[in-house]
A and B are shown apart, each in its own frame.
Chain A
């Protein structure tokens, strides 16, 4: 009964989303308050229904109800509890349901908390969100229904792909999805604004917290995915430029650009046309990512061609939403009144520069991701576009952007003074040079680019700190007053600095981990020693071990520095018996921000084994930096001025200045 109720809830949600697609939009266009008033409660009802449906599917997984085809195909009664739950979204059908759940979740958030948004904009936005929702629920019901049943239930399921049986992968997709589906709400805001023909500074302000929220989750999700690949795939790489990664990275780049251009729109009423276009593009890239990952196009273009039902369906949705919104854009955008003017050297100018580079970077990733696919479709030729392409295109685009990062926040709006801004950044520049020299002294001239990279990272980090310090005039007003002023700074200012600092931290991690990594790939016999970056590793032998649903060969290593034992490391090679699938489990020793990374290759005769040992200096900074960025985003959302759900200003004739604080 529970399963069928879940199925019904989904169908009901579909019917309700169709109504939500039409009535509030009609209300918003005709300014009929009663029709508009439908939108918020229905958005909440939609969320409740889809959540019920998702809960029913989860219940089926938990109770191993193999009469549900989806459970039978992807679960196994002997699986640990956590993987029964993560199994819900570890497959195509469930993951699309999660997608829809997040769509309606953002709708409900706006419906419930968006009380400061004008009713017509809110109603139209929720209606647009429902178009997307209806499209995707239809996709589920028509091609990927997780509630299909088998009358004669089998007694055991097929189990989950072992590579997905990992705690990192259990939580990473939901985070990533919240991020990239979250941009749907920005898209809905943009389309609604285009339909209603009102796009102004106030709009940018209403949209900002939602964009930030999606961005925070996407940042965290990408970082987790990267760390997962790092320790699970056994090669010690943390970013592979593979299409699945790029699919989430493109919306991130576009979304970051959007965040910045929305600031200009909010403060100066400028860049409106561009901001709306970015909002459309960001979600379009999310949709594209979903298409790439979900249609099977990536695994093989030809597999897609032989079983195209799902892929074609998403493709149609994709064309409908992207094509439709762009058409609407082409029609409405010229009618928008351009807002404030500004000089090239100004805060706005800096943000435009940021947008230019981020967009160009998005295009580079886009080309690198889709070109091989297109080539395969057209000529049948298979090429792979890997790191070298992206290093040559994406890399050079990031360098000027990073150099410019500290300038942006210290430039004045409208008309900036580059010289004055530079003066404020003297200190940061000095520290960056010192960092350069220090790196040179430490590692010599071997790798000339690396010290420059370190300098760049330090420049971004100190620039972010200098910005906050100059804003409070810490050196002019003295410590105690300075701290008081520090506390009084708005959350968005803190958010900017923290996030920019995080960028610097990530860059530092990337530069040091790639330039100063040391590696040894060798065959070791028990008792052999290898020395690396001051660590002495002794291989003690390989011992077989049995896990709940796998067998593994565990290599035992002792790590010493200067003769004293620091750590025992146990990398292993696992074989998941149900699917006869091998995986590599790397062993990682973290010391400060650096890591010693150890993974096993093929076993040889007489107990010898191939071993890969890496020392990666400051590698964890890559992910710590991302977390700092995400934290900066959260601080910015928490800014009281943006906080949503405040008492309705609409009820008040004149909002009091206190409420405005």
Chain B
């Protein structure tokens, strides 16, 4: 409301700057005369200057006389113009037109143009006010920015880092999360929980590959708490990714030993084990056309997991499939699944690369090639 009042006031003031002089100057003296006196004033001043310069000896008498004649001539001309000029007729129609512009064109024009260009509903959003609003009214982004601001001023606040780290994970920013966990560990000291989360963040940031850094973090966590499941889970995953199948199988088995089957991670572990050819799940491998995919339990487990766990799990599976296809080859259906998985995960480059590889593998097989191309077209992937 205040906004519209102020707009009205501004418009009114602008209109008045036109209307007031229109009304007032009706009482003024004749403009033409005033104008000519402004003219003659200048020449009179110039005459006085010449006199003064002469008096001070700044110019020669001769020059002064010449200058005076010249200025006098101009003065006379200006005088003549003054008498010759006719007073302009004051047109009433023009005046009315001027008033109408001030009263109608100005407000309507500017108001209309503003409504077209402006965003009257959008309030100011000064950063400070946004950051100091009560927490419940704020989006996660604002809260994070607030914590970031706090941390940039107090970088030694370990508690702050440990609070913001999981939020980063949830926001899908594992790199920032890893950095925050690292700071938290540095400032608060290592705990199994922090080390595990640190390793997990690194893993997620690395597209599900357990890097050496992550592995080290998980090992530290296991050292701090030998019974912890999560770090051991990732360590087993790492062994699998490294291709140390024997050791991986051993790890998975020991992990699964005595585990509560209702735990969300168990089916995943079992699937990994099965993939490695371990015994526990061997019987479950389907026969015939059915491809080994995530079991119903695995899917259920995945839906119980947090986003990160799920991403890690899915990308872990996809990477596993990719490696296998690279090493030992596979059916056209498996290739298609890999390409589709990449494209669903939003990894266009990898999808394209897989597509290229698949085309090379099935270069001789026209029906398979046809299916590959059809799928690629549908998913909008372009290989080379």
A interface residues (Cβ-Cβ under 8 A, vs B): 1-5, 7-9, 11-12, 14-16, 18-19, 23, 26, 30-38, 40-42, 44-45, 49, 52, 60, 63-67, 77-78, 116-121, 141, 145, 147, 149, 151, 153, 155-156, 200-202, 205-206, 268-269, 340, 412-414, 471, 473, 485, 488-490, 641, 649-655, 657, 660-661
Is B17 close to A, CB under 8 A?
Answer: yes
Complex partner residue of A32 from B6, B11, B74, B91, CB under 8 angstroms: B91
Q: Show 23 residue pairs from A and B whose CB-CB distance is below 8 angstroms, ordered by the A residue.
A: A1-B6, A3-B124, A5-B7, A7-B117, A8-B114, A32-B90, A34-B95, A37-B21, A37-B25, A38-B18, A40-B21, A41-B21, A44-B17, A45-B13, A63-B127, A65-B127, A117-B38, A120-B31, A141-B117, A149-B122, A205-B42, A489-B58, A652-B37
A1-B124, A9-B10, A65-B125 as given contacts; A119 in contact with B34, CB under 8 Å: yes
Looking at the assembled complex, report how far the CB atom of B30 sits from the nearest CB atom of chain A, in whole angstroms.
8
B2 CB–A CB distance under 8 Å:
yes
Question: Do the beta carbons of B38 and A7 come within 8 Å of each other?
Answer: no
- Smallest CB gap from B49: residue in A: A641
How far does the alpha carbon of A487 sit from the alpha carbon of B118 in the complex, in Å? 58
A63 adjacent to B126 (CB under 8 Å): yes
Q: Which 8 residue pairs spanning A and B have beta carbons closest together?
A: A31-B88, A63-B126, A33-B31, A37-B25, A649-B41, A64-B127, A45-B17, A118-B35
* Bound CA–CA A654/B11 (angstroms): 41
**Are A11 and B113 in contact, with the CB atoms below 8 A?**
yes
From B99-107, B183-191, B295-303, B305-313, give the one contacting chain A: B99-107
CB-contact partner of B10 in A8, A149, A269, A653, under 8 A: A8
Q: Which residues of A are found within 8 Å of B37, using beta-carbon distances? A: 649-650, 652-653, 655
Which residue in A147, A490, A655 is a CB contact (below 8 Å) of B44?
A655
B14 → chain A closest CB, angstroms: 5
- A49 to B11: give the CA distance in the assembly, Å: 10
B369 at the A/B interface (Cβ < 8 Å)?
no
- Chain B positions 27-51 with a Cβ under 8 Å from a chain A Cβ: 28, 30-32, 34-39, 41-49
Q: How far is the CA of A479 from the CA of B286 in the complex (A)?
A: 119
B120 close to A (CB within 8 Å):
yes
Min CB–CB distance A149 → chain B (angstroms): 5
B26 within 8 A of A: yes
B126 closest partner in A (C-beta): A63
Does A660 contact B49, Cβ atoms closer than 8 Å? yes
Task: Please give the distance in Å from B116's CB to the nearest CB on chain A.
Answer: 9
Q: Is B260's beta carbon under 8 Å from chain A?
A: no
B228 in the interface, Cβ–Cβ < 8 Å? Answer: no
Rounded to whole angstroms, the CA-CA distance of A32 and B78 in the bound complex is: 20
**Which residues of chain A are within 8 angstroms of B70 by Cβ–Cβ distance?**
268-269, 340
| Complex Cα gap A141–B109 (Å) | 14
In angstroms, Cα B66 to Cα A471, docked, is 19
A34 touches B90 (CB 8 A): yes
Asked, given contacts A32-B90, A34-B90, A63-B128, whether A41 binds B17 with beta carbons under 8 Å apart, the answer is yes
Nearest B residue to A653 via CB reads B37
Query: What is the bound-complex CA distance between A414 and B66, given in angstroms?
Result: 9
**Apart from A8-B7, A8-B114, A413-B67, what 14 extra A-B contacts exist at CB < 8 Å?**
A5-B7, A7-B118, A9-B10, A12-B106, A15-B14, A16-B17, A23-B98, A32-B91, A33-B25, A63-B127, A141-B113, A147-B118, A201-B43, A268-B70
Judge whether A471 and B58 touch: CB under 8 Å.
yes
The tally of CB-CB contacts under 8 A between chains A and B is 225
Interface residues of B (CB under 8 A from A): 2-3, 6-7, 10-11, 13-14, 17-18, 20-22, 24-26, 28, 30-32, 34-39, 41-49, 52, 56-60, 63, 66-67, 70, 74, 78, 87-91, 94-95, 98, 101-102, 105-106, 109-110, 113-114, 117-120, 122-130, 141-142, 145, 152
* Contact, CB under 8 Å: B74 / A201: yes
- Cβ-neighbour of B114 out of A2, A3, A11, A485 (below 8 A): A11
Q: Is the CB of A34 within 8 A of B124?
A: no
CA distance in complex: A140, B222 (Å):
63
**Would A1 and B26 count as touching, CB distance under 8 A?**
no
Residues of B within 8 A of A651 (CB): 34
Complex CA gap A181/B381 in Å reads: 55
Which listed residue, B43, B91, B124, B145, touches A60 by the CB 8 Å rule? B124
| CB–CB A269/B113 < 8 A | no
Contact call B39/A118, Cβ cutoff below 8 A: yes
What residues of chain A lie closer than 8 Å to B49, measured between beta carbons?
490, 641, 660
Q: When the two chains form the complex, which single residue of B20, B95, B122 contacts A4, counting CB atoms closer than 8 Å?
A: B122
CB < 8 Å neighbour of B127 from A37, A121, A155, A641? A155
Residue of A nearest to B35 (CB): A118
Q: Is the CB of B98 within 8 A of A660?
A: no
* A37/B3 in contact, CB under 8 A: no
Tell me if A155 and B141 are in contact (CB < 8 A).
Answer: yes
**Chain A residues whose C-beta falls within 8 Å of the C-beta of B14 in the assembled complex:** 12, 15-16, 45, 49
Tell me which residues across on chain B come within 8 A of A117, comparing CB atoms. 38
Residue from A65, A654, A657 in contact with B126 in the complex, judged by beta carbons closer than 8 Å: A65
Asked whether A660 lies within 8 Å of B48 as measured between CB atoms, the reply is yes
Q: How far is the CB of B312 from chain A (nearest CB, A)?
A: 28
Q: Please give, as numbers and ranges, the residues of chain A lying within 8 Å of B41 by CB-CB distance.
A: 116, 649-650, 652, 655, 660
Q: In the bound complex, what is the Cα–Cα distance between A119 and B38 (angstroms)?
A: 9
Contact partners of B124 in chain A: CB under 8 A: 1-3, 60, 63, 65, 67
Q: In the bound complex, what is the Cα–Cα distance between A654 and B40 (angstroms)?
A: 9
Complex contact B125–A67 (CB within 8 A) = yes
Contact between chains at A153 and B118 (CB < 8 Å): no
Give the distance in Å from the alpha carbon of A306 to the alpha carbon of B173 in the complex: 36
Q: Which residues from A are CB-within-8-Å of B60?
A: 412
A residues within 8 A CB of B18? 19, 23, 38, 41-42
Find out whether the CB atom of B145 lies under 8 angstroms from the CB atom of A1: no
Picked from B6, B35, B57, the residue with its CB within 8 Å of the CB of A473 is: B57
Roughly how many angstroms separate A375 CA and B18 CA in the complex, as a whole number? Answer: 50
Complex interface: chain B residues within 8 A of A649 (CB): 37-38, 41
Whether A156 lies near B145 (C-beta < 8 A) is yes
- Of all chain B residues, which has the CB nearest A145? B117
Beta-carbon nearest neighbor of A661 in chain B: B48
CA distance A471 to B56 in the complex (A): 10
Chain B residues in 8 Å Cβ range of A63: 124, 126-129
> How far in angstroms is the closest Cβ of chain A from B128?
7
Name the A residues within 8 Å of B57 (CB-CB).
473
From A41, which residue of chain B is reached at the shortest CB distance? B17
Q: Is A202 within 8 A of B48, CB to CB?
A: no
Q: Which of A19, A41, A119 contacts B31 (CB 8 A)?
A: A119
B63 near A36 with CB under 8 A, answer no
Instruction: Specify the chain B residue showing the minimal Cβ separation from A266.
Output: B46
Evaluate contact between A32 and B35: CB separation under 8 angstroms. Answer: no
The distance in angstroms between the C-alpha atoms of A83 and B184, with both chains bound, is 34
How far, in whole Å, are A269 and B117 apart by their CA atoms in the complex?
A: 50
- B146 CB, min distance to chain A CBs, angstroms: 9
Q: Which residue of B lies closest to A63 (CB)?
A: B126
Chain B residue at smallest Cβ distance from A337: B77
Query: A7 to B129, alpha carbons, bound, how many Å?
Result: 21
Residues of chain B within 8 A of A19, CB atoms compared: 18, 101-102, 105-106
Partner of A149, one of B22, B66, B119, B152: B119
Q: Say how far B166's CB is from chain A's closest CB, in angstroms.
A: 19
Instruction: Give every chain A residue within 8 A of B34 (Cβ-Cβ).
Output: 118-119, 650-651
Q: Nearest chain B CB to A110's CB is how many angstroms away?
A: 14
B153–chain A nearest beta-carbon distance, Å? 11
Pick from A67, A78, A119, A156: contact of B35, CB under 8 Å: A119
| Across-interface contacts of B56 in A (CB, < 8 A) | 485, 488
Q: Which residues of B contact A120 (CB under 8 A)?
A: 31, 35
**With A and B bound together, what is the CA distance between A649 and B43 in angstroms?**
12
Q: Out of A4, A31, A33, which one reaches B3, CB within 8 Å?
A: A4
Known pairs A19-B101, A116-B41, A652-B37; A7 contacts B127 (CB<8 A)? no
Q: Which residues from chain A contact B106 at a C-beta distance below 8 Å?
A: 12, 15-16, 19
Set of chain A residues within 8 Å of B32, measured between Cβ atoms: 31
Task: List the A side residues contacting B89 at CB < 8 Å.
Answer: 30
Shortest CB–CB separation between residue B93 and chain A, in angstroms?
11
Taken together as a complex, chains A and B put the C-alpha atoms of A77 and B30 apart, in Å, by: 58
